[in-house]
Structure 1
Amino acid sequence: MSDRPDDQTRPQTIPVVEEELRVGTREVETGRVRVRTVTREHEQAIDQALASVDVDVERIAIDREIHETPEVYDDGETLVIPVVEERLVVEKRLFLREEIHIRRRRTESRHQENITLRSQDVIVERETADGDPAGSSIAEGNAKQ
């Protein structure tokens, strides 16, 4: 500044400065990963008990007059189912014609068979940005089929 009189009467300009900040990102490849699976097979024997029920049907002739229809009943291992018919006589009568006896027998047998089970191992291989392998790891048994 000078000491001249006209300098003091003239307005002075003061610059105001403001800074702005811009933030951004950019992608940089630092490495790659390759994931693959290896399938293994092994045989495993199974031994399982299997149950079945066989039935014998026996028809027993009764041919006896009855007054009402008998109920189906269970006689231990035998299911008894009455079979009735109406016969025309001078009057209508109910006859027990026969009974059907059904016996149940439970049998057990063993079933053996070899089956093939498969499982997969996962192999992860990491590569650096220039394509060189950086190491690998194996996660065993992570993928079951």
Structure 2
Amino acid sequence: MPEDQKTTFLPIIEETVSLTTRKVATGRVRIATRTESVDQVLPAHLSSLDVEVVRVPVGRKIETVPQTTTEGDLTIIPVVEERLVVTRELYLLEEVHVRRVERTETVEIPATTRRQTVQIDRLPPQGEDADPAQSQNKDDQDDL
């Protein structure tokens, strides 16, 4: 290269960027749960079976002892006696009629259940001035 031609060098500069992140507290949350008891009335269906007994006088002569019979919800139980006459005869004195009557009623049964409610308070980040009233309750609640 001739001397009258001078070479000039231009430096090339390169910038680089580095990105980092850090955690910054922007606020806190306090959550408190409370259990309440709720009194309520629960319906329940109760069934009962009552028996009605009716004595029906008959007073007639029979040849043999009748059997106990059931017709639907009615049961007939014969009651007999022997009478001494010149001959022995059976008389049907009475019948006992037993009827089953089912009754259903709805009753209300008191019961206590429990449920929880939640209270959420948003607080400033640690180190910033917080409400003094909220600081007093800090022992009772957990900070998240």
Structure with the largest fraction of strand? 1
Q: Which has the higher contact order (CA 8 A, sep 6+)?
A: 2
Q: TM-score by structure 2 length?
A: 0.50
Q: TM-score if structure 1 supplies the norm length?
A: 0.49
